[in-house]
Amino acid sequence: MRNFHRKGFRFLLCMFAAILACWGIGVYFAGNGNAASAYKTSWIGNSFGGGEKWVQNYIEAMYVSSDGTIYTNSTWDEGGREAGIYKNGDVVAKADDLHGWNRLGGKAVTADSKYLYVAMFQGAVDRKDQDYPRGKEEWYCIRRYDLSGKPAPFPGGRGWDKSMLIVSEKNPVLGLATWGKELYVSEEAANQVHVYNTQTMKKLRSFSVSRPGQIVFDRQGNLWILQAKKDSAPQGQKIFHYSKQGKQLPQQVTNVVQPSAIAVDNRGRLLVGENGPNQQVLIYEVKNKPTIVGTFGVKGGIFAGKAGEIGDLRLYGISGIGTDSQGNIYVNNNGFNNCGTDLRKFSPQGKLQWQLMGLHFVDNADTDPNSDGVSVYGKHEYYQMDYSKPAGKKWNYKAYTVNPFKYPDDPRLHTSPTSVFFRRIEGKPFMFLTDMYNSFLQIYRFDLRSDGYIAIPSAMFVNTKEDGKYFTENWPRYQPEKGEWIWRDKNGNGAFDKDEYETSKDYPYVGGWWVDSKGNVWKTLRTEKGIRRFAVQGLDGNGNPIYNYKGMDKQENPKTFTDMRRLEYISETDTMYISGFTAENPQSEDEGKKFGSEIARYDNWSKGNRKERFRITVPYDTKADPPSLMASMSAAGNYIFTILVKSAEVYVYNAATGDLVKQFKPGPEVANESGWIDIPYGIRAFRRKNGEYIVFAEEDWKGKVIVYSLPAKIGK
């Protein structure tokens, strides 16, 4: 009997274990479809995956309290963290309700023991039931919050919640500081500093200062005021010294090239962010005549040594500095032209304590085809990947690729590119960038010996504009007066020189660009004869790829498409994929960014074949809620990957048959969320040597790029 009970007990245990195993397998398959179709979600470029935590797009102003709480401000963050609160290497909160409804953050922030003060902009909104600007009216405000980021209204306050103080209807606020119960506010364009009571927010007085910007107080209760720079004169700014009553004091700091941020440390010294070639924090003793007594950070910043390489004390694009009561130093690196947030805390001895990053905005990524997915590039960043690590830990921020001092004509400093194609031509690496509207194609070369990791401006295609120059600003120099053009850096200096342009004229409405694996550039125009192929003519003596109109051939688009939008040509197999609208599935309204309603595959394209192997009807419903629209595609290996605009859901089609084999969305690693796909190349896929597929997807809502990994065989 004893043996029977023992055997019966073992049997029950085995049955229970089997049930648990089956339940576990069922849960796994329910969440992943099946082993062949399982996918994993990760991301690059942000310290956090999303949900309630992400690092904002960029930081334009920063204040550090005595306990090390960091308050920030920026004009825009896609997720709504225009004014962020950080501490101990973590996201704490954000200032509420600073996003949307014609509302923006700003370029100044400060706090006292009770309140947070944030510069902001509020434009006109047609809401008569609440207090908004009307018509052409605009408010440049200070908005008061409690220290947790909740609005703190006051008698006479404006706005729907009575927390806004209107400083001006013309000029933004560029500086904020408090002393006791007084709030000091810089109105640069009016050459005025205004003083308000922090409790009542009533104005107490104003005094004149030449172009006042950032403000800090020293230990004696006097103000140091950073003069705002003029766009036409980026150097020559001063740092003035004033009493609280507005009397100018004799001390000045006049020897800083491009000062960008100021703070006072726990020893009473003035810290100045030098955003010129030195890329350092300069430390001044200011009891008497201001004297430099030290520096913080490597001289030359990120451009010293191997240019572009990330290092603890290698600073770049300093937009904010601060210290706490313990003497810890906080520096925000913003890159150049607001490339992204890189916020660091250092000990008083200069040892890195932590680093927070939010590096991507309206951006995607691509990989060097020679690296098997290990070397990955965004429009400004270079990462090294380790796919064996956990979600969010696979990326190592290796380098920043912009050098504004050596290459001030770099198009990334003057435009807003969004999408990377990374290619090899004659074995050499090149990065191609286009923008949200396919207006241009920028080309960069690399030379590790002369420029480290910096992407060197190499060539550029610019579309025809219906009238006049494409770029209306003072950049680039010598641009043609009209028509389309190709620029090539013939002398190798990375500048747009007079004899480096070739011009033509073509239909102005572009559906998209493509760069094939050989480096040939393709352009789709929304016309009957709408395909342009620019064959690469080799490399010139400076390593630039040669493209010209003589080497361009015009190809008719297939008659299937009435409005062609994108193409991808796979040179290894002579396969063409085209997307656009057809007579059977026309667009409901004209909009230049749209992807189309169908995808078609053509084999033997170079031999003249224009008969499709298959056609895929992709989601296109503008009346759905939300609208169901495809954003972009990427063909890799045995599959075509596409992504929806608003849900960011990925559709995977079999490249041989056109059959839909899988659909998936962002996983729990990124809080099951994504922002809209705003760019024409919002998805980029490639197949690794082990057969695994890696897919990059734009995710600018929470400042990152989503990375999916899928097995070699993808099924439902």
CA 116 to chain centre: 27
CA 479 to chain centre: 27
**One domain for residues 341 and 373:** no
Please, is 6 exposed, middle or buried when counting C-beta atoms within 10 Å of its C-beta (0-12, 13-18, 19+)? Answer: exposed
**One domain for residues 279 and 148:** yes
First to last CA, the chain: 51
CB 302 within 8 A of CB 315: yes
**One domain for residues 195 and 292:** yes
CA 153 to chain centre: 33
**One domain for residues 582 and 623:** yes
* Tokens describing residue 212: 């006042």
**One domain for residues 433 and 569:** yes
Domain coverage including residue 22: 2-32
We report the CATH number of the domain holding residue 523 as 2.130.10
**One domain for residues 558 and 697:** yes
Q: Which of 375, 392, 258, 271 is nearest to 316 (CA)?
A: 258
* Tokens describing residue 72: 């920030």
* Tokens describing residue 646: 């608003």
State the 10-residue block means of pLDDT for the chain, 716 residues long. 37 36 33 59 98 97 98 97 98 96 96 98 92 95 98 97 98 98 98 98 98 97 94 74 98 96 98 97 95 98 98 98 98 95 98 98 97 98 98 98 98 96 98 96 98 98 90 92 96 98 93 97 90 98 98 94 96 98 91 90 97 97 89 98 97 98 98 97 98 97 98 91
We report the CATH number of the domain holding residue 292 as 2.120.10.30
Pick the last residue of a domain from 358, 376, 409: 358
- DSSP secondary structure letter of residue 454: P
What is the residue type of 317?
A: G
Pick the last residue of a domain from 358, 383, 403: 358
Does 476 fall in a domain? Answer: no
**One domain for residues 97 and 207:** yes
Which residues are CB-neighbours of 66 under 8 A, at least 6 positions away?
A: 324, 325
- The CA distance from 104 to 655, in Å, is 44
3-state secondary structure of 449: helix
Does 474 fall in a domain? Answer: no
Does 499 fall in a domain? Answer: no
* Tokens describing residue 716: 């439902």
**One domain for residues 272 and 389:** no
pTM of the model: 0.93
* Tokens describing residue 445: 């070369």
- The CA distance from 576 to 600, in Å, is 8
**One domain for residues 276 and 255:** yes
Does 557 fall in a domain? Answer: yes
**One domain for residues 342 and 413:** no
The confidence score (pLDDT) of residue 171 equals 98
**Which residue's entry shows tokens 């909160």?**
93
**One domain for residues 191 and 237:** yes
**One domain for residues 19 and 98:** no
Does 440 fall in a domain? Answer: yes
Structural domain count, the chain: 3
The confidence score (pLDDT) of residue 15 equals 37
Pick the last residue of a domain from 358, 388, 412: 358
Does 715 fall in a domain? Answer: no
For residue 381, the cross-strand partners are 400
The confidence score (pLDDT) of residue 233 equals 53
Positive or negative, the Cα torsion across 343, 348, 350, 352? negative
Ordered DSSP codes for 376-442: EE-SSEEEEE-TTSPTT-SEEEEEE---TTT-TT-GGGTS-EEEEEEEEETTEEEEEEEETT--EEE
CB 489 within 8 A of CB 458: yes
Does 641 fall in a domain? Answer: yes
> Where are any strands of DSSP class E within 112-252?
115-122, 139-146, 164-168, 175-179, 182-187, 192-197, 203-208, 212-217, 223-227, 239-242
Does 485 fall in a domain? Answer: no
Ordered DSSP codes for 503-554: EE---S-EEEEEE-TT--EEEEESSTT-EEEE----B-TTSPBP--STTEEE
Rg (CA), the chain: 28
Which residues are CB-neighbours of 618 under 8 A, at least 6 positions away?
A: 579, 595, 596, 597, 598, 599, 630, 642, 651
- The CA distance from 74 to 52, in Å, is 18
CA 211 to chain centre: 30
Query: Own/partner pairs for 267-272, CB < 8 Å, 24+ apart?
Result: 267/327, 268/218, 268/219, 269/293, 270/216, 270/218, 270/224, 270/239, 271/296, 271/321, 271/323, 271/329, 272/239
